[in-house]
Amino acid sequence: MRARTEPWMLVLMILVGAVIGSLLWSLVTPYLPEVFAKSITVGTTGAPLNVDLGVLSLTMGLTLHVNIGSMLGMIAAFIIYRKM
């Protein structure tokens, strides 16, 4: 019988898998051809969004760098989640 797993656990595991996969990939990249060192950047690549309301000032921005290692880490995290 499978234990009941929460959806937030999947999100957390995928984020941790992406970070660990990216870190491991950065260690392996110097030994691979340059084509494998590429990454895709998604998000606010320019200046972040600034909202000044007088009393409150908000600065928002999000950038996601995806490489092969982070993708492999996310896939591994998803497989581990499914086995739980």
Q: For the segment 18-75, what is each residue's pLDDT rounded down to a tens digit?
A: 999 999 988 888 888 887 778 888 777 777 788 888 888 888 888 888 888 999 999 9
Burial label for 69, CB within 10 Å (0-12, 13-18, 19+), is buried
- Number of domains, the chain: 1
Please report whether residue 32 resides in a domain.
Answer: yes
* Residue 55 backbone dihedrals phi, psi, to 5 degrees: -90, -30
Please report whether residue 56 resides in a domain.
Answer: no
Please report whether residue 2 resides in a domain.
Answer: no
Copy the structure tokens of residue 1: 């019988």
Please tell me whether the overall predicted TM-score, pTM, comes out greater than 0.85 for this model. Answer: no
Domain region containing 17 = 8-45+62-83
Please report whether residue 52 resides in a domain.
Answer: no
Please report whether residue 55 resides in a domain.
Answer: no
Please report whether residue 18 resides in a domain.
Answer: yes
